[in-house]
């Protein structure tokens, strides 16, 4: 487990170094070595606003899959924190529950400030965990903005976790989540307002109709759970299992994985080209152009044209 932790760190550091212009040769060597061993893990994404109880739901899933003998990894991607690795308080608290279980690996990853955010480091960490033989990998992230869309891109099955009492429904129940959810989890179902969240979701899903299809006609179920007690977790794993089976039968599992690889390759290629642009002798020219734009002498598109033409 310690070797694996070090390998994930190497991948994380390597991807951010590649991001900021470093060559990161060990990263490449690692990824070349793991490539033939990838492709078996089931990646489950969990996203939702702060405070909905994503970590508690994840923890219940970990326990449930452990009971069936599967090896489980958790990658908690935090797009709001510049801190990483074992440094997070929550990490240590969570690890302690599974400290003696070699079938569980939990890891936090910070992406704030990285160009490309999730898109570079996280997929590579998933490859390493996949190759290390984990059957299920839960990827957890705070679900607002681009991180949410990106996690859906990484996962085979995406859970959107909600809870009653968190801001008004217009703000929290954005139409966008319909596009990414393979299932909705309404956590804290023992609290007042939980039924309202379920009803609002049903209305939104009905209104969206077939527009929200990620292809193939899967209808995202809404599962009420109380993660603190474990209530509803059996139903959740059943629905998740049904989704996994459906993904395989519909051919979408493979289709999504090819699409994901496509996006990974593009992101790496763009980062590499961005690195080359940054390394051009035009750095001081960029400073001059920025001063002209700030002074209203030039518009930014004309400035970009000049920069590229240099």
Footprint (CB under 8 A) of a second copy, residues 68-107 = 78-83, 89-90
Work out whether 64 is an interface residue with a second copy (CB under 8 A).
Answer: no
Q: Which stretch, 194-202, 216-224, 241-249, 297-305, contacts a second copy (CB under 8 A)?
A: 297-305
Please say which residue, 111 or 224, places its beta carbon nearer to a second copy.
Answer: 111
Q: Spell out the residues 6+ positions from residue 41 whose beta carbon is closer than 8 angstroms to its own.
A: 73, 126, 129, 130, 134, 135, 136, 137
Work out whether 35 is an interface residue with a second copy (CB under 8 A).
Answer: yes
Please say which residue, 99 or 261, places its beta carbon nearer to a second copy.
Answer: 261
Q: Which of 174, 230, 237, 244 binds a second copy (CB under 8 A)?
A: 174
Q: Which of 3, 69, 100, 170 binds a second copy (CB under 8 A)?
A: 170
Q: Which two tokens stand for residue 271?
A: 């980062």
Q: Which of 17, 166, 204, 242 binds a second copy (CB under 8 A)?
A: 166
Between helix 252-278 and helix 233-250 the angle, nearest 10°, is 90
- Cα(91)–Cα(77) distance, integer angstroms: 11
Q: List the interface residues with a second copy, window 103-132 (CB under 8 A).
A: 112-113, 117, 123-124, 127
Please say which residue, 8 or 64, places its beta carbon nearer to a second copy.
Answer: 8
Q: Which stretch, 98-106, 202-210, 243-251, 291-299, contacts a second copy (CB under 8 A)?
A: 291-299
Work out whether 290 is an interface residue with a second copy (CB under 8 A).
Answer: yes
How far is residue 113 from each of residues 12, 150, 264, 271, measured CA to CA in Å? 13, 15, 18, 14
Specify whether the CB–CB gap between 109 and 122 falls below 8 A.
yes
Work out whether 154 is an interface residue with a second copy (CB under 8 A).
Answer: no
Q: Which stretch, 2-10, 168-176, 191-199, 239-247, contacts a second copy (CB under 8 A)?
A: 168-176
- Cα(122)–Cα(141) distance, integer angstroms: 11
Work out whether 261 is an interface residue with a second copy (CB under 8 A).
Answer: yes
Site size toward a second copy, by CB under 8 A = 84
Please say which residue, 38 or 250, places its beta carbon nearer to a second copy.
Answer: 38
Please say which residue, 91 or 182, places its beta carbon nearer to a second copy.
Answer: 91
How far is residue 259 from each of residues 27, 39, 47, 198, measured CA to CA in Å? 22, 14, 20, 31
Work out whether 208 is an interface residue with a second copy (CB under 8 A).
Answer: no
DSSP state letter for 212: G
Strand segments, DSSP code E, in the chain are 42-48, 72-78, 104-110, 136-142, 157-162, 183-186, 222-224
3-state secondary structure of 72: strand
Specify whether the CB–CB gap between 126 and 12 falls below 8 A.
no
Q: Which of 149, 204, 205, 242 binds a second copy (CB under 8 A)?
A: 149
Work out whether 203 is an interface residue with a second copy (CB under 8 A).
Answer: no
Specify whether the CB–CB gap between 55 and 94 falls below 8 A.
yes
Q: Which of 179, 200, 228, 250 binds a second copy (CB under 8 A)?
A: 179
Q: List the interface residues with a second copy, window 267-286 (CB under 8 A).
A: 268-270, 272-274, 277, 286
Which run of H or E residues covers position 70?
none
């Amino acid at each position: 487990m310690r070797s694996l932790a070090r390998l994930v760190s190497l991948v994380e550091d390597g991807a951010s170094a590649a991001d900021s212009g470093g060559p990161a040769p060990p990263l490449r060597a690692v990824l070349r070595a793991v490539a033939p061993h990838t492709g078996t893990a089931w990646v489950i994404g969990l996203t939702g606003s702060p405070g909905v109880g994503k970590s508690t739901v994840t923890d219940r899933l970990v326990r449930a899959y452990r009971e069936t003998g599967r090896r489980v990894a958790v990658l908690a991607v935090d797009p709001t924190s510049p801190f990483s690795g074992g440094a997070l308080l929550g990490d240590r608290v969570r690890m302690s529950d599974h400290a003696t279980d070699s079938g569980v690996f939990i890891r936090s990853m910070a992406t704030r400030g990285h160009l490309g955010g999730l898109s570079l480091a996280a997929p590579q960490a998933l490859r390493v965990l996949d190759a290390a033989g984990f059957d299920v990998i839960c990827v957890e992230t705070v679900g607002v903005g681009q991180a949410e869309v990106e996690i859906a891109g990484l996962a085979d099955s995406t859970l959107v976790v909600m809870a009653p009492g968190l801001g008004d429904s217009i703000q929290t129940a954005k139409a966008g989540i319909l596009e990414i959810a393979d299932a909705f989890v309404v956590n804290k179902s023992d609290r007042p307002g939980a039924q309202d969240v379920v009803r609002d979701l049903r209305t939104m899903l009905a209104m969206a109709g077939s527009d929200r299809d990620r292809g193939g006609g899967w209808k995202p179920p809404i599962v009420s759970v109380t993660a603190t007690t474990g209530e509803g977790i059996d139903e959740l794993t059943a629905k998740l299992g049904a989704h996994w089976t459906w993904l395989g039968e519909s051919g979408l599992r493979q289709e999504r994985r090819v699409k994901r690889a496509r996006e990974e390759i593009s992101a790496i290629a763009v980062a590499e080209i961005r690195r080359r642009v940054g390394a051009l002798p035009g750095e001081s020219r960029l400073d001059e152009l920025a001063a002209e734009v700030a002074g209203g002498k030039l518009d930014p598109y004309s400035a970009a044209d000049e920069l590229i033409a240099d």
